[in-house]
Amino acid sequence: MTAQPEHYNPVGKRDTLDTWRKRMRMPVPTKACNILDVRIAALYETTSVNGMPLDALVEAQITEDKKVVQFGVIFSPSPPDWDKYGIPVLWIDDKRTNVGRWKGMV
Specify the pLDDT at position 41.
Answer: 96
pTM of the predicted model as reported, rounded to 2 decimal places: 0.85
**pLDDT under 70: residue ranges of the chain:** 1-8, 97, 104-106
Residue 106: predicted pLDDT: 47
User: Counting Cβ atoms within 10 Å, is residue 103 exposed (0-12), middle (13-18) or buried (19+)?
Assistant: middle
